[in-house]
Amino acid sequence: MTHSLGEFRPQLVLNVMDRELGLLGYVVIDRTIDGCSSGGIRMTSDLTLDEVANLAREMTLKFGFLNIPCGGAKAGIIASSSLSKEKRRQVLLGFGKSLGPLLLSGIYRPGTDMGTSPEDLYYIWRGAGRKVRPEVFQNTESGYYAALTVFITAEKLIDYLGLSLPNCSVAIEGFGKLGLSVARLFSDACAKIVAISTIEGAIYNPEGLNISKLITLKNKFNDKVIANYRDAEMITKEELLTLDVDVLIPCAGPDTLNLANIPHLKAKIIVPGANIAATGEAENLMFERGIHYVPGFVSNCGEILKHFLLAQGLGEKDIQKMIKERFGRKISNLLEISYKRGIPLGRIARKISWQRVKNMEERRESDLRDKGLLLKMLTKLSRSNFLPYKITVMLKWFMKFMTNPYVNRTLPKDYKGDSSAI
């Protein structure tokens, strides 16, 4: 994989080890903002440290693009999806135990990712030593909001190119929780979905696939859905990527778009549901070929937006309405700048993200300086013989509160409460 991490290296790179099981995986904290970072935990048999590092960088770019005060991180477990239930539980508990200091301190806040579920998070937290109820992790991730921002991004590109969504053909690589949600949104908008894939292969019908039927079969046969859908031609996963379609949505693993297949791509628009779906060289080559590509840290940031806005007290309906109205406007602005300047949209988005990350880091340093001056003043007051005892005790408690880096996290000064992240 050829993603450049540039001059900014990750802050923390760890091999996650277990005394009995050996190497379990990796955790990479790309950046911490205000003492915390966040990113999902994935589980695959061919996971590499390089992949985890690039995914952590992608998370930093997402938070920066959305102007949310949090650093990017990622963790990965090297394990097959075919592990027995008992062996899987053992691996998850061991992984959580090794990550305990990072998890319990709040430095790293994990979520689900490729190959992991809310139930897996439950066992990881148990391994870390935190007692949690299993129901806390139920239905925490559906893929809907990431799919929603993917759909909105594709919709804006379609409009910008003067196409009509009901007349567009769509191919979706990957039919997991995200790919399925993407398929449902495009189907509801009357677009023609002509191909999908799973790890078992891909199916193609130029007249369109029946998404309702595919979802029913998916629930019954999981990845073998493609073998049980009769009204389509079996093709390879590689052939799906090069189909002559209007819109291609990669929702599978990293670097599925690379120098080997870019010359053969025929899609007009490519909007990833997956992170790091294309190498850096591939992005540049797609732009040169006139393929309209939006990087994943922009297009699939919906789940982060959802959790951030939920934390600000907004309800699901308000969040959906806000994302549909304001995220779409954000994409339109990026498109306009890209075409006016004649440079790739991804390059513009990265510049915006890094500037915001820099601003957040500088703001944090300024807050720490201000806090230091306040603590110095409070220390002098607490040592004064002229203050009543109760006030002295309260001052000492407040000083302890102020020096805890995991409380009283400050939002950006330009945060408007309901819309600045969008």
pLDDT higher than threshold 70 for residue 384 = no
Considering the domain architecture, whether residues 94 and 176 belong to the same structural domain is answered as no
Structural domain includes residue 290: yes
For residue 357, being part of any structural domain is answered with: no
pLDDT at 202 over 60: yes
Closest CA to 89 of 56, 124, 58: 124
Element (H, E) at 241: helix 237-241
Q: What is the pLDDT of residue 369?
A: 57
Confidence of residue 409 (pLDDT cuts 50, 70, 90): very low
How many domains, the chain?
3
Instruction: Specify the range with the lowest mean pLDDT, choosing from 113-122, 141-150, 371-380.
Output: 371-380
Domain of 25, CATH number, reads: 3.40.50.10860
Residue 367, CA distances (Å) to 90, 108, 245, 396 in order: 42, 21, 51, 20
Average pLDDT over residues 208-214: 97
User: Do residue 43 and residue 178 come from a single domain?
Assistant: no
User: Could you tell me the pLDDT band of residue 416, with boundaries at 50, 70 and 90?
Assistant: very low
> Within its chain, how far is the Cα of 13 from the centroid?
19
Asked whether residue 413 is assigned to any structural domain, the reply reads no
pLDDT of residue 420: 46
Question: How far is 376 from 389, CA to CA, in rounded Å?
Answer: 19
How many percent of the chain have pLDDT more than 70? 82
pLDDT score of 120: 95
What b/e readout covers 307-342, taking b as 16+ CB neighbours within 10 angstroms? Answer: bbbeeeebeeeebbebbeebbbebbeebbeebeeee
**Pair (38, 164) in one structural domain:** no
Non-local CB neighbours of 84 within 8 Å, separated by 6+ positions? none
- Domain containing 160: what range? 144-343
Q: Which of 105-114, 392-401, 404-413 has the lowest mean pLDDT?
A: 404-413
In whole angstroms, what is the distance from residue 42 CA to residue 25 CA? 10
Per-residue confidence (pLDDT) for residue 279, from 0 to 100: 86
pLDDT surpassing 60 at residue 240: yes
- pLDDT for residue 319 is more than 50: yes
130 shares its domain with 166: no
**One domain for residues 204 and 83:** no
pLDDT tens for residues 158-183? 999 999 999 999 999 999 999 999 99
pLDDT of residue 139: 56
Q: Are residues 66 and 208 in the same domain?
A: no
pLDDT averaged over every residue in the chain: 87
pTM of the model: 0.84
Secondary structure letter of residue 208 according to DSSP: -
Residue 221 placed within a domain: yes
Question: Do residues 200 and 277 make contact, with C-beta atoms less than 8 angstroms apart?
Answer: no
Write the pLDDT tens digit of every residue in 338-381. 999 999 999 999 999 999 999 998 876 665 555 555 556 556 55
In this prediction, residue 412 carries a pLDDT of 40
Claim to verify: residue 155 and residue 233 sit in the same structural domain:
yes
The answer to whether residue 1 is domain-embedded is no
Q: Same domain for 47 and 132?
A: yes
Does the pLDDT at position 94 exceed 90?
Answer: yes
pLDDT in tens, 21-49: 999 999 999 999 988 999 999 999 999 99
My answer on whether 334 and 378 are in the same domain is: no
